[in-house]
Amino acid sequence: MSKKLSQSSVAGGATGYKIALIIVSLILIIVLILGYTGVLPREARKNSLMLKNTYEFLNLSVRFVEKNNLLVNFEPLRQSLKSKYEQRDDYLISMYFEYLPTGANITLNRDEKVWPASLIKIPVAMAAMKKVEEGVWNLTNELVILDEDKDAEYGDLYKQPTGTTITIEELLRETLVDSDNTAHFVLLRNLDGSDLEDVYTHLGLEEVISALKLTPKDGEVDNRITAKNYSIFFRSLYNATYFNPEYSELFMDILKDAPDDYLGRGIPSEVPFVHKTGIRIEDRVKADSGIVYVKGRPYLITVMIQKKDFEPIPEGEVEKLFEEISKEIYDYVTQTN
């Protein structure tokens, strides 16, 4: 008998809970209806609207970003960087920094175009990945290495016998992580001009396409670019505006394994830095661009450095500049309240 009473009590409690839940739900519905029909006082209507949409006219991200990460004043950092690096006798430094939570940015030598060196491999790899996303290619498909693809300047794929086949996934990795020229040229040869043009056009870099079309046959394309314009590639990858999120993530996941040669020297090893480096020996250029994933305060940074007298760059000198710039920015972002 007691067992039956106990079960009955439990059932009764559950029923009571359901009734209470229904009553509360009905009350909320009535409050919302009254709020929108004007029966409730003005303040009550305002509160009910806030339940519907806290920030109706603001970027949705403000709901998820802590206020102290939004209200960061970068003017002291801007003045410091400009005084140290914008007007130098030895090096031209084109730099772009963007604080991703707010879009606040700093630019050095805004209009100065520099050869992007191996950074140019990013848009070519993006064009290849787009064909994968669209189902035209598959990451496991294989492409063949021809004599015309081989380049011994960077990477080791040139050592492979002509006719060697390699998967698209591995070609992307060799291009982005090891900056292998042969892998880059294999991908480029298998792309149509329209594939690469689509990348630049989608990102609003039509002037690059214009320069390409004006280049004489067999002439070198003048693809010099400002640090600010180059940063568009990484902003697009970060915001998944060219690929869908799955393929943007895949692309960035490959890049995360790139060596930390330049800007990475000023960032703690435990902080993720997804980036691409570049060297153009004949023009005395070194460059690095990517995103530093400081928790709650990620930022995009591109630095392109060219020796003004075109003499050989002393060993370690430019690397030290990269490290100094990177460390100053990292310290400011992480230590400023």
Residue 211 has pLDDT above 70, yes or no: no
Cβ(152)–Cβ(193) below 8 Å: no
Instruction: Outline where the chain has alpha helix (H).
Output: 2-37, 42-52, 67-70, 75-85, 121-133, 168-176, 181-189, 193-202, 206-214, 227-239, 245-255, 317-335
Does 12 score more than 80 pLDDT? no
**pLDDT value at position 1?**
46
- Reported as a single tens digit per residue, the pLDDT across 30-53 is 555 545 445 445 554 455 444 455
Number of domains in the chain: 2
Residue 62: inside a domain: no
- DSSP output for 20-59: HHHHHHHHHHHHHHHHHHT-S-HHHHHHHHHHH-TTTTS-
Mean pLDDT, residues 232-242: 95
- C-alpha to C-alpha distance for 16 and 326, rounded to whole angstroms: 62
Q: What are phi and psi of 227, to 5 degrees?
A: -60, -35
Q: Per-residue DSSP letters for 75-106?
A: HHHHHHHHHHHTS-SSEEEEEEEEETTT--EE
**Statement to judge: residues 97 and 45 lie in one domain:** no
Percent of the chain with pLDDT over 90: 64
Considering the entire predicted model, what is its pTM? 0.79
**Whole-number pLDDT of residue 216:** 59
**Do 150 and 82 belong to one domain?**
yes
Residue 288 predicted with pLDDT over 70: yes
In a domain, residue 73? The reply is yes
Residues 46 and 78 both lie in one domain: no
State the residue for tokens 């060596």. Answer: 259
pLDDT of 139: 97
124, HSE (Cβ side, Cα atoms, 13 Å): 28
User: Considering the chain, what is the average pLDDT of its residues?
Assistant: 85
* ∠ CA 75-76-80, rounded to 5°: 115
Residues 10 and 97 in one domain: no
Structural domain of residue 253, as residue ranges?
Answer: 67-335
Task: Specify whether 132 is located in the same domain as 280.
Answer: yes
Q: Which of 4-8, 26-30, 67-71 has the highest mean pLDDT?
A: 67-71
Looking at residue 311, its pLDDT comes to 84
Residue 13 has pLDDT above 80, yes or no: no
Q: Is the pLDDT of residue 242 over 50?
A: yes
Report CA dihedral (131, 135, 137, 138) to the nearest 10 degrees. 120
pLDDT above 70 for 158:
yes
- Position 212 scores a pLDDT of 65
269 belongs to a structural domain: yes
User: For the segment 293-330, what is each residue's pLDDT rounded down to a tens digit?
Assistant: 999 999 999 999 999 988 888 888 999 999 999 999 99
Tell me if 285 sits within 8 A of 117, measured CB to CB. yes
Residue 333 exposed, middle or buried by CB count within 10 Å (0-12, 13-18, 19+): buried
Residue 260 belongs to some domain of the structure: yes
Distance CA 224, CA 239 (A): 25
What CATH number has the domain bearing residue 243? 3.40.710.10
40 and 116 share a domain?
Answer: no
pLDDT at residue 15 greater than cutoff 70: no
pLDDT at site 29: 60
User: Looking at the structure, do residues 187 and 282 belong to the same domain, yes or no?
Assistant: yes
Residues near 226 by Cβ (< 8 Å), separated by ≥ 6? Answer: 94, 96, 109, 110, 111, 112, 113, 114
| pLDDT one-digit tens code per residue, 190-210 | 999 899 999 999 998 877 777
Higher-confidence residue of 270 and 60: namely: 270
| Residues 198, 156 share a domain | yes
Report the residue count for the chain. 337
